[in-house]
Amino acid sequence: MVNVYESLVILGYPKEDPKRKLARQAIDALLIQRGNSMYCQPCVSPIWDTALVSQALIEVEKNRQSTEIKNALNWLKKQQLSNEPGDWRIQKPELAGGGWAFQYSNYYYPDLDDTSMVAWAMHRVNSKKYVVPIQRAANWVAGMQSRGGGFGSFDINNTHFYLNEIPFADHGALLDPPTADVTGRAIALLSLADKEKYAKNIKEGINYIKSEQENDGSWFGRWGTNYIYGTWSVLTALEIAGENPQQNYIREAIEYFQKTQNDDGGWGESNDSYYPPKHFRPYKSTAFQTSWVLLALLAAGEIKTTTVKRGINYLITNQLSNSQWYDESFTAPGFPRVFYLKYHGYSKYFPLWALARYRNLLQKIN
For the annotated catalytic residues, the residue numbers are 113
Q: How far is CA 327 from CA 268, 330, 331, 338, 342, in A?
A: 12, 9, 10, 21, 9
Contacts of 258 (CB under 8 A, 6+ apart): 307
Q: How far is CA 139 from CA 82, 89, 130, 144, 184, in A?
A: 12, 14, 14, 9, 16
Identify which of 83, 84, 55 has the alpha carbon closest to the alpha carbon of residue 236: 55
Q: If you ran DSSP here, which 8-state letter would residue 151 be given?
A: B
Please check whether residue 311 is in contact with residue 263, taking contact to mean a CB–CB distance below 8 angstroms: no
CB atoms within 10 A of CB 288: 27
Contacts of 298 (CB under 8 A, 6+ apart): 308, 354, 357, 358, 361
Please check whether residue 279 is in contact with residue 226, taking contact to mean a CB–CB distance below 8 angstroms: no
Q: Which residues pair with 335 in a beta bridge?
A: 339
Q: Which stretches of the chain are DSSP H helices?
A: 2-10, 18-28, 46-60, 67-79, 112-124, 131-143, 180-194, 199-212, 227-241, 248-260, 287-299, 306-317, 346-365
CB atoms within 10 A of CB 20: 19
